[in-house]
Amino acid sequence: MQATVAPEKGLPEGTQRVLGRFSEAADARDRVKLLIAAGRALAPLKPEDKAATNRVMGCTAQVGLERQQDPAQSLSHAKQVPRQAATRNQSVVPHTVCSQVWVTTQLAADGSVVIGGGSDSELSQGVVGVFAQALSGLKPQEILQVCVTVLL
């Protein structure tokens, strides 16, 4: 059975549903909640799925950590600050944080692709979850026809 394609945008229905949920979100906070929920909906990765062959390389985020002025305060009280502040404020130490992301694919008996994955970052795992919701169940040829940038 082929996926039904919505003629108005040329996207499979599952992809349209995912995009619809995000476009109906009231604000950025609601979209982040949807993103995190998509990540939590993924099945937990098996240890063997966290292999180098499944790892998405290059996932990094630039953050700055503000130094505490009072040495008595613990490091757990440091707050994350925007990157722009890291270049303006000498008390901010820029760091590159590397989140690890793994994506798994399986070919189901009917020839459709099942996408899974995980991450040590909730937001990165959410991105994997969105792709899984939007593309799982499609045939490989159908996935190749979807412009994945619409999901970003």
Q: Which domains does the chain have, with CATH numbers?
A: 5-55+100-151 (3.90.1010.10), 60-98 (no CATH)
Beta bridge partners of residue 94, listed in sequence order: 64
Q: Which of 140, 113, 124 is nearest to 56 (CA)?
A: 124
pLDDT digits (tens, 9 = 90+) for 5-62: 444 467 898 899 999 999 999 999 999 999 999 999 999 999 999 999 999 987 665 5
Largest CA distance in the chain: 64
Residue 83 or residue 27, greater confidence: 27
pTM: 0.71
| Distance of alpha carbon 86 from alpha carbon 121, whole angstroms | 22
pLDDT digits (tens, 9 = 90+) for 106-144: 999 999 999 999 999 999 999 999 999 999 999 999 999
CA-nearest of 4, 9, 33 to 21 is: 33
How many other CB atoms are found less than 10 A from the CB of residue 138? 22
- Model pLDDT, residue 65: 54
Say how many C-beta atoms besides its own lie within 10 A of residue 21's C-beta.
16
